[in-house]
Structure 1
Amino acid sequence: MSHSIYFNFIIKSDKFSVYKAVSEPGHLENWWPLKCSGIPRVGEQFNFNFTDKYDWYAEVTSCKQWDHIHYKMTKSDDDWNSTTFGFKLKEKDNGTCLNFFHTDWSELNNHFKHSSFCWAMLLNGLKSYLEKGEIIPFEKRS
């Protein structure tokens, strides 16, 4: 049995800006990793660098510009290596609905619970980044 994290919420921004924020390294660095590189195209590798100890890699497994992007972890913590996370966007009258998922966790352990909490905090930071232009310094991101 695998476990999953899901969040759906509205960001008061257009889907083009939201897509860029979840798929372009320069924007990802403003709300998630310290450093990032990659090209939002199926088969491409992304590097999510948080520290020297947490220098993670993922492969883009599905991607449609302005619609969605999915990342399959390839080098990370053991708990994350089996997982895939991604973002699906749907334009609404009041902004963009972001559907987030992080699936295929093998255990419902403390790391899963901590990651679920961190994703909620980070996605709130993404929302603030897009709606208000706020960038939380990396050291203050949970």
Structure 2
Amino acid sequence: MSHAIYFSLMIKTDKTSLYRAVSEPKHLENWWPLECSGIPMKGEIYNFNFTDAYDWYAEVKSIKQWKHIHYKMTKSDDDWNATTFGFDLEEKSNGVYLHFFHKDWPECNTHFKHSSFCWAMLLKGLKDYLEKGIIVPFKDRE
């Protein structure tokens, strides 16, 4: 049995801005990793660098411009290596619903629970970045 994290939240922005924030390295760096590289195309490899000890890689498994991007971890912590996470966008009249998932966790252990909390905090940071222009310094991100 695998485990998954799911969140849905409304972000008062347009789908282009939200899509760029979850797919373009220069925007990802404003709310998630310290440094990032990658190209939003299927099969491309992203590098999510948090520290020298947490220098992770993921492959773009599915992508549709302005609609979604899904990443499959390829080099990370043992718990994360089996996982896929993604961002699905649903445009509404008052903003964009972001449907986030992080699935295929092997265990519901402390790391899974901590990552769930961290994703909630990071997605709040993404919302604040897009709605208010706030960039939380990397050292202050959970």
- In structure 1, give the amino acid aligned to 2:86: G
* Residue 84 (1) aligns with residue 84 (2): yes
| Structure 2 spans left out of the alignment, 5+ residues | none
> How many equivalent residue pairs?
142
Alpha-carbon separation, structure 2, partners of 1:42 and 1:64: 9
- 1:53-100 deviations in whole A, cap 9, x for unaligned? 000000000000000000000000000000000000010011000000
- In structure 1, give the amino acid aligned to 2:96: T
Alpha-carbon separation, structure 2, partners of 1:19 and 1:50: 21
- In structure 2, give the amino acid aligned to 1:137: P
Residue number in structure 1 paired with 2:8 = 8
| Structure 1 spans left out of the alignment, 5+ residues | none
TM-score (ref. length: structure 1): 1.00
Residue number in structure 1 paired with 2:28 = 28
TM-score (ref. length: structure 2): 1.00
- 1:97-122 deviations in whole A, cap 9, x for unaligned? 00000000000000000000000000
Residue number in structure 1 paired with 2:118 = 118
Alpha-carbon separation, structure 2, partners of 1:42 and 1:60: 5
Residue number in structure 2 paired with 1:100 = 100
Q: For 1:35-54, list aligned pairs within 5 A.
A: 35-54=35-54
> Taking every aligned residue pair, what percent have the same amino acid on both sides?
75
Alpha-carbon separation, structure 2, partners of 1:87 and 1:94: 19
Specify the SS of the correspondent of 2:30. Answer: coil
